[in-house]
Amino acid sequence: MKKATQLSSLSLLITALFSQQVFADVPLTLEQYNQATNPEFKRTVVVQNLNSPHNLVWGGDNNLWLTEQTSGNIVRINPNTGAKKTIFTVPDMVYDEGAQYGLLGIALDPKFNQANHQFVYVSVSIKNPNAKDPAFPNQMVIRRYTYDAKKDTLVNPVDIIKGLPCSRDHQSSRLVIGPDNKIYYTIGDQGSNQLTYLFKPNLAQKTPTKAEVSAKDWHKYAGKILRLNLDGSIPSDNPYFDGVQSHIYTIGHRNAQGLSFAPNGKLLQSEQSANSDDEINLIVKGGNYGWPYVAGYKDNNGYAYANFSAAKGDQSKIKDPALNGLKAPEGVRVTKESEWSDKNFIQPLKTLFTVGNDHNFNDPTCGEYAYVCWPTVAASSAYFYKGGKSAIPGWENSLLVTSLKRGVIFRIQMDDSISVTKGDAIPMFRSENRYRDIVASPNGNELFVITDNAGSVQKNDGTVTKTVANPGALIKFTYQPK
Ligand SMILES: [Ca+2]
Ligand SMILES: [Ca+2]
């Protein structure tokens, strides 16, 4: 009897310690954001009036390359002079006002400067002639172009994979090439089970059958991270889900816009969650990251899964009053996080941020833009800082995460093995901008950041502005302590 009591006190202690770690990620105060001024960095606006710059990479040619979401332009910028050239415009891209598709991801071949390696990979939305549902007339493709140095443009398009899900919401579409020379690609849950797509089933936990893989029916790739060979085929060492091998590497994602490899091969990711709990994840082959059953930690806090696609009754009369399952109308089944389990479930390393069920999601400070005040940051990218000859002191093993609505970039310190985060996320470079993506120079002392042209961002007094300070800009932060 005594032994049993000791055991249960031990398990209580472990639970308490674990909970302590879990609840360290409390929302930052406005004062903490406003203190993120960083005078040790010189700030330069390198380029202005880009057209919805979306993803930014440092090419093997020592130029910055970026995609413009709404114009379909692939733009190259000399980081020293700011000289800008539109290298190519994707001719068949489709974009519609307010949609999250367009020209999104970009990755250059890791050996871009060598012969026969001048490849540029992009993810882009185009029309889908085989569309079955008129509400979803487009498809995402991953396309490989070849850079023609003589003509200084891109030629020879090859769609290495076609027919990927494409919706107006939660597209994600981050594209990186790993140290194993495979493409890693994030696909959001397409905004299913919320807003416009409230009654569309969320597929983040569904994986294709063998017959669907044979038929190249990729509709269940929504809410996943894919891993592909450079020619678009399925790598022979990809994981199996329910006995079926496909391009799927991990499942259970909502809107993972950030994905970055650390030099030791660890893969880190940022993911936008619902009303709370944006996530920083360590991505592991075959992992299940929980969505839509779990947001952030499995703690029954601030979120439950209300499945509207299975709602009983007249759908036209059913409204979602909360967007986080904490309040659900009659006829809508709600599953608590603790009611769901999966042996491959992986909790986030960190959340931005976790709150209790009593949190006020209608903070009057943000007025009609209440969602800006929610305890999320709208994580738009994750970039592992690799240091360099002029590395910023103390920044080794840092993950940089841009925020669309807090006007900051978060620096998250990690341990040497890149498996654990250390301390709280540190907000930096406060401004009234929606930071979209970030990359460092190889020397390590310059950070290049792109910003949205428009949208809502929180001001220093906590209210919301629709006027951004530097629309469509490339901003350089140079480390130069006084
Ligand atoms: Ca998760
Ligand atoms: Ca949770």
Whole domain around residue 156: which residue ranges?
26-295+343-479
- CA pair distance 288, 72, nearest whole angstrom: 33
What average pLDDT does the segment 300-316 reach? Answer: 94
Token pair 């936008």: residue: 272
Within 115-241, strands assigned E span 119-127, 138-148, 153-164, 172-177, 183-187, 224-228, 240-241
Say if residue 18's pLDDT is above 90.
no
Q: Residue 86: which CATH number?
A: 2.120.10.30
Does 70 reside within a domain?
yes
Phi, psi for 100 (deg, rounded to 5): -95, 5
Domain count, the chain: 1
Residues 441-468 have a mean pLDDT of 97
Q: Which ligand is nearest to the CA of 303?
A: 2
Q: For the segment 57-101, what is each residue's pLDDT rounded down to a tens digit?
A: 999 999 999 999 999 999 999 999 999 999 999 999 999 999 999
Phi then psi for residue 235, to 5 deg, are -60, 140
| Count of beta carbons in the 10 Å neighbourhood of residue 45 | 13
- Mean pLDDT for the chain overall: 94
Ligand found nearest the CA of 275: 2
Give dist(CA 68, CA 124) in Å, integer.
11
Near ion ligand 1, which residues have CB within 5 Å? 279, 289-290
For residue 16, the CA-to-ligand 2 centroid distance in Å is: 17
The per-residue pLDDT for 21 is 45
Classify 310 as helix, strand or coil. helix
Q: How many CB atoms lie within 10 A of CB 8?
A: 10
CB 113 within 8 A of CB 147: no
Ligand lying nearest the CA atom of residue 297: 2
Tens digit of each residue's pLDDT (9 = 90 or more) over 271-306:
999 999 999 999 999 999 999 999 999 999 999 999
- Per the domain annotation, does 238 fall within a domain? yes
| Whole-prediction pTM | 0.95
Q: Which-ligand-closest: CA of 305?
A: 2
Could you tell me the distance, in angstroms and rounded to a whole number, from the CA of residue 336 to the centre of ligand 1? 14
Distance (angstroms) between ligand 2 centre and the Cα of 55 equals 29
> What is the predicted pLDDT for the residue at 19?
41
Q: Is residue 436 part of a domain?
A: yes
The label of the residue with tokens 């519609």 reads 96
Residues marked as catalytic = 170
Q: Is residue 390 part of a domain?
A: yes
Is 399 in a helix, a strand, or coil?
strand
Residue 13 confidence class, pLDDT cut points 50, 70, 90: very low
Higher pLDDT, 23 or 421: 421
Determine the pLDDT at residue 24.
59
Report pLDDT digits (tens) over 387-422.
999 999 999 999 999 999 999 999 999 999 999 999
Could you tell me the distance, in angstroms and rounded to a whole number, from the CA of residue 273 to the centre of ligand 2? 10
pLDDT in tens, 144-156: 999 999 999 999 9
Nearest-angstrom CA–CA distance, 474 and 467: 17
Sign of torsion, CA 426 428 432 437? negative
Give me the mean pLDDT over the 456-475 stretch: 97
CA 448 to CA 66: how far, in whole Å?
11
CA 296 to centroid of ligand 2, rounded, Å: 4
Task: Give the distance (Å) from ligand 2 centre to CA of residue 277.
Answer: 7
